[in-house]
A and B are shown apart, each in its own frame.
Chain A
Amino acid sequence: MKLSIILLLISCLRVSANTYSQKLNLTLKNASFSQAFSAIEQKTRFRILYSDDLLPENTVNVEVRNEPLTNVLNHILYGSNLTYKVLDNKVIVISRTDAKFQAKTISGTVTDTSGNPLSGVSVMVKGTSKGTVTNAAGVYSIDVPDNNVTLVFVYVGYTIQEIPVNGDTVDVSLIPLEAAAGNDVVVTALGIKRSERDLTYSTQQIGGDELTRVKHTNLINSLNGKVAGLTINANGSGVGGSSKVVLRGSKSLLGNNQALYVIDGIPMNNNTTNQPSTGFGGTTSYDGGDPISNLNPDDIESITVLKGASASALYGGAGGNGVILITTKSGKNGKTQINFSSGATLNKIAYKPDFQNSYGQSLTTDGKGIDSTSIYSWGNPTSNSQDNLSQFFQTGNDFTNSISLSSGSKIAQSYFSYANTTSRGIEPGNKLQRNNFNFKEIGHFLNDKLTVDVNTNYITQNIDNSPNAGFYFNPLTGLYLFPRGRNIAQYKSMYEVPDVATGVPVQNWFDITPENDGSLQFGDDIQQNPWWIINRNTNALQRNRLILNAIVKYDFSSWFNLQARGSIDRINDIYDQKLYATTNPVVSGSNGKYYYSNGVSTQKYGDLIGNFNFSINNSVKITGLVGTSINDSKTVGRFYGSSGSVGLYYPNVFTLQNTITDPATTQDMPENHLQVQSVFASANIAYKDELYLDVTGRNDWSSSLSNTKDGYSFFYPSIGANALLNKIFKMPQSISLAKVRASYAEVGLAPLPYQSNPPIATIGSGGNASLNNTSPATALAPQKTKSWEIGTQWRFLGDRLGLDFTYYNTNTRNQTIQINQSVPTFYGNGYVIAGNIRNRGVELTINYDLISSSDFKWNTAVNYSFNQNKVLELAPGITQSILTGSGNGAQYVSMVKVGGSLGDIYGNVLQKDAQGRILIDSVSKSPIPTSADTSLLGNPNPKWQLGWNNNFTYKNFSLSFLVDGQFGGKVMSVTQQVMDGYGVSAITGAARSAGGVKINGAYQNGTPVTSVDAEKWYTTVGNRNGVAGEYMYSATVVRLREISLGYSLPIKSSVIKALKFSVIGSNLVYFYKKAPFDPGLTMSTGNGFSGVDIFMPPATRNFGLSLNATF
């Protein structure tokens, strides 16, 4: 044994600043302590004094670079029973004298305040550089020398917590730095969590409770009014209907404009389902329900909205419309919980059309009496008018019950949920049944290095009698147009009557008259008995959907991991429609008609991503990824019996054997197979947590670009930067965050399948092949959206007040524009690549915790957005592109012209003279419409939107309400127009009572006209072929979107952990609405039919109760 001098001069012991400034590099493998000490002596000017017999037997590994000596010593001595003192240039290694000393392992779970595990939290022993990070389940374990240490928990966006060790377990709940969004960790592209503070682009996060507070059968409608820059229009198709969800304005003429949904990092199958394509409605013109509406809102942890292209460049073309990221719930380590939630909502129609009650059914032509088969109400005064609508509409309801069970250990976490939704619509017979099963399992293997996460969703949904908008199969046409002064009750109780000859029941409606030969003559093609429609023109949509996601991730080291993900999202839709004999022959065969379709839409997605993060020095940190992905979507399916009036062999037997089939009516669906393969990379460079730079690049190879001259491949980059001014500059205490950001992004979007290679011919009726009228577009190229945005985010008063402002500008070029071709060239149409559509606007959100005392809290938030959409260019020589063509049941065309906006409504107007007076024909005494549908009538998109959300809590009570408004824009009501033409609307009654319609008009010869006969006026401007220009209304609508009052029962039970009751309401009050329908509804979530109401069911007011219990 070697003796050494030990000097103990405690009183003189001072830690020299010099010691700590002494930095060294040291790499040792399996070195003994003495080897380690001598290595240090060689690299520093310090001498290390120690007693040989104190040194432990074990060896140490060291790999440090530019570290202070103390850290190196701490590292080496860590876990041993040694400590050290520093005296001048000497280090004295001594034995710990603490009897309680005992090296031990501490473990625990780190969660956020709502109990969700936080992964990647760094856990350090205070005063040392020894540390670890939590795994995906938020679990860590760390060896500490003794019980006298303090653990430090550091996670971006959360307050740093120091917790003295006391026992073997330290569970921590980290508190976000700010209550408001500022420093929230947000989920960004590909599921990567980042602090919102670091982001170079605009996002908005909505917590799960915001989604479930006031539940909607389509959960995405819960976002309405809450996100700046997001416009949601629900399809007016009753329960289970889809929604049009557009971020920062529509960008594409022919392509999809809907936001992309991404669930846990994996793009969802968002194939646009069937949507009404004609104002007539008809067999195939139904709303198929969008994929997002199938999800169970209770399974959702949070939703992040990535508004611009910058955020979504990593998702490829589909992300160019913005991305809605959905994070689902998982099981939690050490926490077993059962959550039960139940809601019941009643829905009542929010408004009714106004009817006149003074004039009855039109007279026979000789004027001697009422013509009982007349479809018009231009007859004599009557006092018999009744409220027909209350005979028909019912109170709708939604019952949602869901239960979730979650539990977990360090190595495995499970989450299971089941939800049942039962709804009935406001139209009798309209029902929805949905069952959601969700099972998610996360397992950790190989010392937490390998994480496997499997998530299964199975959804069954049945929707019966989804209301068809448009004229046909719509009970509302007959209901609204029913002649005034007559009793509709007889047609409700007897919507069919037995036919004496055949015994087959026959539709009973006032305008149906038997002919001499026994056949039926219908007075009107657009109406039938409403109860006949709901009972004898039934439809049913069955959906079975399976979503399977699996993620395998392996941490090669703490700076690099590799993850592989795979997903399959398979939606099977079966739709059938049964039309009984004596349905209007315009839409059915004489023996009835059976339409059946069965389609499966499958999306397969897989990716492989390497994530890395490292520091170049103390100031510069780089995180990033490289990856590749493949996304393959395809539809297979068939339908039978779709075409017009082809029907059945035998009446009312709804089987395929009984269906008259033909290639025109019996078809395989186009597969629309699209495969996109991609490689991408992204890097985020942070400088001193003050400046951030994001760079991404992506290259796609798309199958839909085959057969084009430029090939499959295309590349697009993005770049963004932000600066935290409050860190760079000294700012007043009241400013807790001052950030400016800017980004630029390009996104390429491949054209739709087959556009570059349309079928040469297809098999048509009788097995004859017919040539396709579309010419192949070999010049197709991907649509390119180039966008930039600048924004700033500020927080004041200890984060109580926050403000976020963004200005963006998006140009979408290389649009695929369908053009007509001069037919002597033997093609009817084709595609060109051209165009430039600009969206630009601002978004502003302000968030303020007005009162934040312990008992009473009031948080208020305002979001504002403004978007201007302008078509800057179309193709050379092309001045317009039609989205919804003429001949759609009304004098209406949706078309795009240079200088106009997407969604512009064109139609005919009244002719006026040079002085602007309405021209009245001197012979017919009627106004004179222009013949062409070419006058710009308006655009239904709001100019700006405002949402105001308030949350109050007082002790156990909570109250929240949301008021939102859409301002500007114009919508068209064909419902009103047809009702006017038929003489059933209030305005026609008032005009008759007033002796005519008061106008500023003139005959062709210039003689002024001040009044026009009401019937002449309204039969000219009203009706389907009337004057569209007279039926435009302000689309401005301000409403009380949501309100809820909740009470949490103070529970002391050991079984029930929490219990909350709420009273909820939605769409309760329209503070402002001038249109005769809710402009927030749309007939189609596609690109056409925006802002046009053709007998859509009214919007509803909804009231309900909800219960939430946690066990």
Chain B
Amino acid sequence: MKYMINNSKFCSGFLIAALLIFINFGCTKNFEKYNTSNLSVSVDMASAFKHIMMAPVNFSGGGDPNSYQVQQNLSADAFSGYHMCAHFGAPNNMTYALNPGWNGEMFKVGYLDGMRYVSLIKNMGVDTKYPAAWAVAQIMQIECMHRVTDYYGPIPYSHAGPLENGQTGSVYDSQQDVYNEFFLQLDTIVTNLKAFISSGQKLPFDFSTMDLIYGNNPSNEFQNWLSYANSLRLRLAIRISNVDPATAKIQGEKALDPNNGGVLTDNSQIVQVQIPAGNFSNPLVAIAKNWVQTNIGASIQCYMTGYKDPRIGKYMDTCSNVAKYGKYRGIRVGTNPQPNESAYSGYSTINFKDGATPSFNLQTPVVLMTTAEVYFLRAEAALRNWSNAGGTADQLYEQGVQTSFNQWNAGSATTYLNDNTSVPDAYNDPLDAGNNASSPSSITVKWDDNASNEQKLERIITQKWIANFPEGMEGWTEFRRTGYPKLFPVVINSSGGTINTAVQIRRIPFSQDEYTLNNAEVIKAIQLLSTPADNGGTRLWWDTGKPNF
């Protein structure tokens, strides 16, 4: 049977269609709610402060130490001679085949875990409402970002953050400009902290609960931050002492000026980040203990065994098989671990297992600056005749060593400091004689006033390097600035000729992502390098390659 169209039926059809459409409208009012994640929160001030404190040696993400491993452990920690990873085969970073996937991490952490949180703190109005807390945030920014510039050289600093109108990419500052900006910021920091301390005021909230560094000592909390700020200024001033001696002296003396509040002098003031509650752990320990992916480096082992350093048992574990590998054995940087990959993990590790109370466990605070380091900085300041060093170079040197011994509960350093015969050991690798190397240096521990300034500096830096263990970034950076301590070079150099084996690696190439995402600016940044070559062989601004005096 056929049915005919007539107007009323057509109309009813459309009516129904219109009805259906009508049903549909007005139901989208919940769409924004649906499209908002149930997991979304906003960041509070405590989270932001804790985050920025955990960022310089990054464990701010909690969980596994993936970020720190590529931020530092597979580069600076190995290049400093402290640590070595016997995995990932060869070539890799540790044989100078620089892995772009790893080496962008320091950059990423600097901005996403460092500066971004400081900017968030500023957006909360902390800079105007609580200048002392803002000073803390800025100290952490400098702590975080000096590592970034000391890694790559030029970095976006004054223009970091969301792009401003008309900007097409983040502009890089030269390393000199970055350092000068640090010093300016430190001026504000010190002014704010001094004003706060002298005013006797209290913050209207309990800052110590969000302060992972000095929060456990609330009565001296901001005084300690002030000492840290001055010590940080001293570290940065010493860093540029060769390339820009005038600025270095001004800044160094400003740091040492007692009117500015003083530097770190006591081990209670060590800049160390407490591991907060939650699934956080000291990332180095986690890699060593849980992952079995980092062992002791050959250099630190040979210096300490050579010097019969009493701290060695605090620093490192004995080998899993002492008869086979010896009591302490490190792995030489740039070794091809295969086919002995598993055997190498039986070499010494940081001390997390043997001994009655191992020095390292997953909750061990992460040290960013030791008090001993500050004594060694002052020793160098004295050597450079800066005023207010507070002692002679030899006094400060010996105080530095003793302070470090105290830090590690290693007793008196007197015998150690009087040893004028022991030199670093040669390196022997029981698994592969191809890795063997002769003693890297003839420098001894005992201070020699008749030695040349260069030798004195080697002594200071060598002991500073031992005292700074296990934090490899400062160790590698100061090695690059001064050439000390004399470290074993890589066994295998896979840099394709860009890095001289003897001179060793000087920097890390710019983040590979920047070439695709911020190309114009990174190309300009290359011109800001000492030579316009973005590779590991190019020296940074403060790395003059000239004698230190």
List residues of A whose CB falls within 8 A of some B CB.
Answer: 65, 129, 131, 362, 365, 371, 373-376, 378, 511, 513, 515-517, 519, 521-525, 557-560, 562, 585-586, 608, 610, 612, 614-616, 626-628, 630, 643-646, 660, 662-665, 667-668, 670-671, 673-675, 677-679, 681, 701-707, 712, 753-754, 756-771, 773, 819-828, 877-879, 886-887, 924, 929, 931-932, 1015, 1019, 1023, 1025-1026
Cβ contacts under 8 Å, B64 to chain A: 643-645
A181 and B370 CA atoms in complex are apart in Å by 82
Are B34 and A675 in contact (CB-based, < 8 A)? yes
Is B513 in the interface zone, CB < 8 Å from A?
yes
Partner of B44, one of A626, A769, A1019: A769
Is B421 in the interface zone, CB < 8 Å from A?
no
Cβ contacts under 8 Å, A511 to chain B: 342
A754 and B32 CA atoms in complex are apart in Å by 10
Given contacts A646-B279, A825-B161, contact A626 B290 (CB under 8 A): no
A760 and B325 CA atoms in complex are apart in Å by 52
Cβ contacts under 8 Å, B163 to chain A: 825
List residues of B whose CB falls within 8 A of some A CB.
Answer: 1-5, 9, 12-13, 16-17, 20-21, 23-24, 27-28, 30-32, 34-44, 46-47, 50-51, 60-64, 88-89, 91-92, 97, 99-101, 107-108, 110-112, 115-117, 119-120, 155-156, 159-163, 169-170, 276-280, 286, 289-292, 318, 320, 336, 338-343, 345-346, 353-354, 430-432, 492, 494, 511, 513-514, 516-518
Cβ contacts under 8 Å, B353 to chain A: 515, 517, 519
Cβ contacts under 8 Å, B156 to chain A: 824
Q: Shortest distance in angstroms between B368's beta carbon and chain A's nearest beta carbon?
A: 19
Cβ contacts under 8 Å, A515 to chain B: 320, 353
Cβ contacts under 8 Å, A679 to chain B: 20-21, 24
In the complex, residue of chain A having the shortest beta-carbon distance to the beta carbon of B21: A679
Cβ contacts under 8 Å, A371 to chain B: 343
Are B432 and A365 in contact (CB-based, < 8 A)? yes
In the complex, residue of chain A having the shortest beta-carbon distance to the beta carbon of B36: A757
A864 and B536 CA atoms in complex are apart in Å by 54
Cβ contacts under 8 Å, B290 to chain A: 585-586, 644-645
Cβ contacts under 8 Å, B17 to chain A: 610, 626, 681
Are A626 and B276 in contact (CB-based, < 8 A)? no
Partner of A826, one of B36, B88, B111, B277: B111
In the complex, residue of chain A having the shortest beta-carbon distance to the beta carbon of B16: A610
Are A662 and B20 in contact (CB-based, < 8 A)? no
In the complex, residue of chain B having the shortest beta-carbon distance to the beta carbon of A523: B342
Given contacts A516-B354, A517-B353, A822-B518, contact A712 B37 (CB under 8 A): no
Cβ contacts under 8 Å, B43 to chain A: 760-761, 769-771
Partner of B108, one of A523, A712, A828: A828
Cβ contacts under 8 Å, A828 to chain B: 108, 112
Q: Shortest distance in angstroms between A599's beta carbon and chain B's nearest beta carbon?
A: 13
Cβ contacts under 8 Å, A1026 to chain B: 89
Are A365 and B340 in contact (CB-based, < 8 A)? yes
A87 and B84 CA atoms in complex are apart in Å by 115
Partner of B37, one of A375, A519, A758: A758
The 10 A-B residue pairs with the shortest CB-CB distance in the complex, in nearest-first order: A766-B278, A765-B62, A759-B40, A523-B342, A824-B170, A662-B279, A765-B278, A703-B31, A822-B518, A824-B156
Cβ contacts under 8 Å, B343 to chain A: 365, 371, 374
Cβ contacts under 8 Å, B46 to chain A: 768
Q: Can you give 7 A-B contacts (C-beta < 8 A)? A: A376-B339, A662-B279, A757-B32, A762-B41, A824-B111, A931-B99, A1019-B338
Partner of A768, one of B4, B36, B47, B108: B47
Partner of A766, one of B112, B277, B354: B277
Given contacts A670-B39, A771-B43, A823-B111, contact A764 B61 (CB under 8 A): yes
Cβ contacts under 8 Å, B160 to chain A: 824, 826
Are B342 and A628 in contact (CB-based, < 8 A)? no
Are B91 and A931 in contact (CB-based, < 8 A)? yes
Cβ contacts under 8 Å, B4 to chain A: 65, 614-615
Cβ contacts under 8 Å, A768 to chain B: 46-47, 50-51, 62, 276, 278
Contacts A677-B24, A825-B162, A826-B119 known; 5 new A-B pairs at CB < 8 A? A646-B63, A769-B41, A824-B156, A886-B101, A932-B100
A511 and B292 CA atoms in complex are apart in Å by 14
A900 and B492 CA atoms in complex are apart in Å by 36
Given contacts A626-B20, A628-B20, contact A765 B61 (CB under 8 A): yes
A671 and B33 CA atoms in complex are apart in Å by 11
Are B35 and A703 in contact (CB-based, < 8 A)? yes
Q: Shortest distance in angstroms between A438's beta carbon and chain B's nearest beta carbon?
A: 31
Cβ contacts under 8 Å, B492 to chain A: 924
Cβ contacts under 8 Å, A558 to chain B: 1, 3
Are A643 and B279 in contact (CB-based, < 8 A)? yes
Q: Shortest distance in angstroms between A507's beta carbon and chain B's nearest beta carbon?
A: 15
Are A664 and B32 in contact (CB-based, < 8 A)? no
* Among A375, A758, A877, A931, residue most surrounded by chain B Cβ atoms (within 10 Å): A931
Cβ contacts under 8 Å, A763 to chain B: 39, 41
Are A823 and B276 in contact (CB-based, < 8 A)? no
In the complex, residue of chain A having the shortest beta-carbon distance to the beta carbon of B155: A824
